[in-house]
Amino acid sequence: MTDSSFLPEWPANWPGALSLALLVLAAAVAGEFVARWRVPRLVGYTLAGFVFALLAYGLAQVDLVAIAPADAELAIGIAAALILFDLGQRVSWGWLQRNPALGATSVAESLLTFGAVFVALRALGMTALPAAMIAAIAIATSPAVVLAVTRELRAQGQLTERVLLLTALNCVYAIVLSTLMLAWAHVESRGVLDTWVLQPLYLVFGALILAAAAAHGMLVVLRYVGRERASQIAVVLACVGVVFALAQVLRLSPLLALLTFGAFARAFDRERRLMAADLGLPAALAALIFFALSFATVDFSLLAPAWLPAIVLVLVRVAAKVAASLALAHASALAWRKGAWLGAGLAPMSAVGLLLSRELAVNYPQLGAQVGAVIFASVFLLQIGGALLLAWALRATGEARQT
Amino acid sequence: MTDEVLAFTRSDALTIGVELELQLIDRRTGDLTRGASDLIHLVERKPYPGDIKPEITESMIEISTKVHREFGSLRDELRAMRDVLIQAADRLDLAIAGGGAHPFQRWHERQIFDRPRFRHVAGLYGYLAKQFTVFGQHVHIGCASGDAAMSLLHSLARYVPHFIALAACSPYYQGVDTAFDCSRLNTVFAFPLSGRAPFVTDWAGFEAYFAKMKRLGVVESMKDFYWDIRPKPEYGTIEIRVFDTPLTVDRAAELAGYLQAVCAMLLDAGARPESEDIYLAYSYNRFQACRFGLEAQLIDVASAAAVPLHRDVLDTVERCRPYAQRLGSAEALDAIEALVRAHGNHARWQRETYQQSGSLAEVVLRSAALWSARGV
């Protein structure tokens, strides 16, 4: 008898990493496919992931392992970390000082979004806590979508810069507010205030201190590394990884830590060392992975009861953002027309929403499931719809590179 | 019909007006950015000095002054316009910079401003139109008649290298040191109707030339000529177009003051261009000035001798002094002299800044800080 042990076992035992690689491959192709109709590539990435989720059952039949949620979460987490850092470093404190009405626009659109979504969900019969939680998450515009779309269209101008700035700010509000909601959830379930008053404080200030220290450290290393591009990018990516890991170990909000890490890095960067490290390519790859995975592990049958509140949320949210940006357009030195488009450009939802509802689900599975379903359904609508709306806005205002 | 179009409007001799093409800069990256329409929209909300217009791309605006008799009032108006623009740009997080070219912009990313004439130009010239994202200072000099204009135009040809070298501020282009002090004019040279005006010394002759060119279909209007100096009959001026936009408005005013004094000297001497021989060394001298700036060696056709450009400028400054005194622009000549003797042109400033910082983005951002007159 011949020894055939050198041959692989059959049926083969495929590693989960293969599914991940195939998904990335499918996403890249789908992205180029939709780009032919001037649709942002992220729509293709997202749809590829969506199809993957639907095929999960079929995949199991050929012994191809579905992507493990833990793997997906780690990959999404790292991609999101880079995206949030990238957005954070676009925050210009100087601009907020020179144009105070811009800060007012930010606060107004966020408050109005929160209030309008909360009232609408209560009107649909939802209880106060989940409604407030969802409303807080709805404040945030998707950093991943706005960065991917503005980069893909090579957009430049007031609409572009303001969408990026207001997104960074409303993400911070959403993270802080939902942290407070978590504390509220705790008080409601256990009826004690004690240490849980300290938790939001620890979460917020801990993240800020970590971010400031990391920003300072990164700039020191960048100064040493000099102007070699590959080394600069490696340093930045490594620091993003360090902050992401430390935030998890210290039980701080990784989202807030990374966003403020980016903002501090820009603010401290007097010699403009960070600016030279162009993150274009790594950020584009992170975006692809992020979008492809965002729905690849979702069980859509669980979302059935969430579609009605989600559709209401989407409409109310977009209306609130448009109204606030329009109202403050003139005061913030913007033409009315661009003011309206600015609100529409803030429509996209994704990263922060999903990750925040995941944080909730860890501590409060029941509340998390209710909030998560509505957020997931809204994000599904506004990841694709919001990207299309933003692309439309950038083209309509002439800020996209004409193709 | 043609005669009507080219009727030369009389204007007061030696009046001056300045146009500056300016760069709109992203404060984060130092790259050119789109913002002309947003900036102009904001400035136009309130009354403002001078005139501010969009240019061929969204990353450029053009400002122009009223007509002035004196260097002092010209400089004051330019300063006032700068302050208005800086205030508006602050609210939009834009920076504004001078300089003849952006050191590292990628021309294919420029957006052509949405206006029929600009779209026509972009369609006709293709990549040249986008590559033409260069920034010049144009100075108008009033002339009493069309004949006087043509006479002055040719008499000035000898001084064109001075203007190029003093204003030169485009050493970097597409991310490299071009070795030129003024690389901008190389870009202008790619256009078919660039260079110098034909040797026609009276207005009737020029009208005849223009009519022929139009009949041939070579040009439609005066705007199709990209000459170093061209007549502008509707304003009653000649327009000197070889200056790179300097990094400060004060320098822009000083260059205009120097030009005005040279013109006064030429008018007083009753200078008449005798023969086309004055252009024998024109392209050579022009190249020398673009390439070497103040270090250029000029060939003087009259004496058949080579003269260092900086020497020639200092001599000219001395000969112009009495006229400058009368015109109130002695201060401008002092500044030009100091430039030649000590500071160097703005191309040198940009090269030194690059040596210090090692970054072209830094060169742009510090240039913008210099333009705002507020420091870094």
Q: Which residues of B9-28 are buried (b: 16+ CB within 10 A; e: fewer)?
A: eebebbbbbbbbbbbbbbbb
Average pLDDT over residues B36-40: 93
| pLDDT, greater one: A113 or A304 | A113
Q: Residue B336: name the closest of B264, B252, B265, B266 by CA.
A: B252
pLDDT of A59 above 70? no
For residue A9, is it within any domain?
A: no
Kindly indicate the confidence band of residue A60, based on its pLDDT and cuts at 50, 70 and 90: low
Pick from B92, B111, B361: CB nearest A158: B92
For residue A1, is it within any domain?
A: no
Pick from A161, A227, A338: CB nearest B93: A161
pLDDT at position B115? 61
User: Measured between alpha carbons, how far is A363 from A366 in angstroms, rounded to an integer?
Assistant: 9
Q: Which residues contact A181 (CB under 8 A, 6 or more apart)?
A: A129, A132, A133, A136
Give tens-digit pLDDT for A177-191.
888 887 777 777 766
Q: Is B252 helix (H, G, I), strand (E, B) or coil?
A: helix
**Percent of chain A beyond pLDDT 70?**
87
Pick from A227, A276, A401: CB nearest B111: A401
pLDDT at position B337? 96
Which ipTM value was assigned to this complex? 0.85
A269: closest chain B residue by CA? B28
pLDDT of A105 above 70? yes
**Percent of chain A beyond pLDDT 90?**
48
Residue B223 near chain A (CB below 8 Å)? no
The answer to whether the CB atoms of B111 and A161 lie below 8 A apart is no
Q: Where in the sequence is the domain holding B21, given as residue range(s)?
A: 2-371
CB atoms within 10 A of CB A251: 11
For chain B positions 47-86, those within 8 Å of chain A (CB to CB) are: 58
Q: Where in the sequence is the domain holding A39, given as residue range(s)?
A: 16-396
Average pLDDT over residues A371-382: 87
Give tens-digit pLDDT for A15-56.
667 778 888 899 999 999 999 999 999 999 999 988 887 776
pLDDT at position B106? 60
| Encoded tokens for A141 | 């515009």
| pLDDT, greater one: A197 or B289 | B289
The answer to whether the CB atoms of A266 and B28 lie below 8 A apart is yes
DSSP B49: S
B109 contact residues in A (CB cutoff 8 A)? 154, 401
User: Measured between alpha carbons, how far is B97 from B61 in angstroms, rounded to an integer?
Assistant: 11
For residue A11, is it within any domain?
A: no
User: Measured between alpha carbons, how far is A136 from B90 in angstroms, rounded to an integer?
Assistant: 32
pLDDT at position B288? 96
**Residue whose structure tokens are 């706005």:** A146
Chain A closest-CA separation from residue B376 CA (Å) = 11
Find which of B86, B111, B118, B355 to mutate to test the A interface (most A CBs within 10 Å of its CB): B111
Pick from B34, B37, B358: CB nearest A227: B358
The number of domains in chain A is: 1
A394 contact residues in B (CB cutoff 8 A)? none
Average pLDDT over residues B208-236: 92
User: Measured between alpha carbons, how far is B30 from B48 in angstroms, rounded to an integer?
Assistant: 27
CATH number of the domain within which B156 lies:
3.30.590.20
Q: Residue B19: name the closest of B44, B52, B60 by CA.
A: B52
E strand map for B65-216: 94-97, 136-142, 172-173, 176-177, 194-195
For residue B376, is it within any domain?
A: no
Residue B44 near chain A (CB below 8 Å)? no
Task: Please name every residue paired with B57 in a beta bridge, in sequence order, or none if there are none.
Answer: B112
Query: What is the CA angle A300-A185-A257, rounded to 5?
Result: 80
- The DSSP annotation for B188-225 comes to HHTSTTEE---S--SHHHHHHHHHHHHHTTS-SSGGG-
CB atoms within 10 A of CB A370: 24
pLDDT of B154 above 90? yes
B27 contact residues in A (CB cutoff 8 A)? 92, 94-95
pLDDT of B107 above 50? no
CATH number of the domain within which A281 lies:
1.20.1530.20
A101: closest chain B residue by CA? B91
User: Measured between alpha carbons, how far is B363 from B169 in angstroms, rounded to an integer?
Assistant: 12
Pick from B28, B34, B88: CB nearest A90: B28
Residue A154 near chain B (CB below 8 Å)? yes
Cis ω for the linkage preceding B103 (within 30 of 0): no
A105 contact residues in B (CB cutoff 8 A)? none
pLDDT of B263 above 90? yes
User: Measured between alpha carbons, how far is A244 from A257 in angstroms, rounded to an integer?
Assistant: 8
pLDDT at position A11? 64
Kindly indicate the confidence band of residue A298, based on its pLDDT and cuts at 50, 70 and 90: low
pLDDT of B110 above 70? no
Do residues B183 and B290 touch, judged by C-beta distance below 8 A? Answer: yes
Kindly indicate the confidence band of residue B274, based on its pLDDT and cuts at 50, 70 and 90: confident
Average pLDDT over residues B282-301: 95
**Arithmetic mean of pLDDT over chain A:** 86
**Residue whose structure tokens are 């070298």:** B165
User: Measured between alpha carbons, how far is B20 from B371 in angstroms, rounded to an integer?
Assistant: 12
pLDDT at position B108? 46
Between the alpha carbon of residue A365 and those of residues A320, B13, B159, the distances in Å are: 30, 85, 82
Give tens-digit pLDDT for B55-75.
878 889 999 999 999 999 999
For residue A336, is it within any domain?
A: yes
Average pLDDT over residues A238-255: 91
Q: Which residues contact B77 (CB under 8 A, 6 or more apart)?
A: B49, B50, B65, B66, B68
Kindly indicate the confidence band of residue B352, based on its pLDDT and cuts at 50, 70 and 90: very high
pLDDT at position B1? 42
For residue B333, is it within any domain?
A: yes
DSSP A64: P
Average pLDDT over residues B289-308: 93
User: Measured between alpha carbons, how far is A159 from A153 in angstroms, rounded to an integer?
Assistant: 13
Find which of A222, A229, A272 to mutate to test the B interface (most B CBs within 10 Å of its CB): A272
Give tens-digit pLDDT for A327-349.
999 999 999 999 999 999 999 98
Q: Which residues contact B28 (CB under 8 A, 6 or more apart)?
A: A90, A92, A266, A275
Chain A closest-CA separation from residue B93 CA (Å) = 6
B42 contact residues in A (CB cutoff 8 A)? 333
Chain A closest-CA separation from residue B33 CA (Å) = 6
Average pLDDT over residues B319-330: 95
For residue A382, is it within any domain?
A: yes
pLDDT at position A231? 86
Residue B362 near chain A (CB below 8 Å)? yes
Do residues B139 and B254 touch, judged by C-beta distance below 8 A? Answer: no
Q: How many Å separate Cα A38 from the centre of its chain? A: 23
CB atoms within 10 A of CB B220: 10
pLDDT at position A207? 93
For residue A3, is it within any domain?
A: no
The number of domains in chain B is: 1
**Arithmetic mean of pLDDT over chain B:** 90
| Encoded tokens for A271 | 């010699």
User: Measured between alpha carbons, how far is A212 from A218 in angstroms, rounded to an integer?
Assistant: 10
For chain B positions 103-162, those within 8 Å of chain A (CB to CB) are: 109, 111, 114
Residue A224 near chain B (CB below 8 Å)? no
What's the longest Cα–Cα distance across chain A?
87
The answer to whether the CB atoms of A399 and B34 lie below 8 A apart is yes
Query: Between the CA atoms of A177, A179, A183 and A184, what dihedral angle is there, to the nearest 10 degrees?
Result: 30
Residue A223 near chain B (CB below 8 Å)? no
pLDDT at position A229? 79
pLDDT at position B116? 67
For residue A236, is it within any domain?
A: yes
Residue B354 near chain A (CB below 8 Å)? no
Chain B closest-CA separation from residue A402 CA (Å) = 7
User: Measured between alpha carbons, how far is B2 from B207 in angstroms, rounded to an integer?
Assistant: 8
Chain A closest-CA separation from residue B58 CA (Å) = 9
| Encoded tokens for B128 | 């040249």
Which amino acid is present at A264?
F
The answer to whether the CB atoms of A272 and B361 lie below 8 A apart is yes
Find which of B40, B46, B90, B92 to mutate to test the A interface (most A CBs within 10 Å of its CB): B92
For residue A252, is it within any domain?
A: yes
Kindly indicate the confidence band of residue A300, based on its pLDDT and cuts at 50, 70 and 90: low
Q: Report the run of H or E that residue B306 belongs to, with start and end.
A: strand B305-308
pLDDT at position A277? 64
CB atoms within 10 A of CB B355: 9
pLDDT at position B376? 44
pLDDT at position B46? 85
Do residues B64 and B89 touch, judged by C-beta distance below 8 A? Answer: no
Task: Please name every residue paired with B142 in a beta bridge, in sequence order, or none if there are none.
Answer: B237
For residue B217, is it within any domain?
A: yes
Kindly indicate the confidence band of residue B105, based on its pLDDT and cuts at 50, 70 and 90: confident
pLDDT at position A61? 55
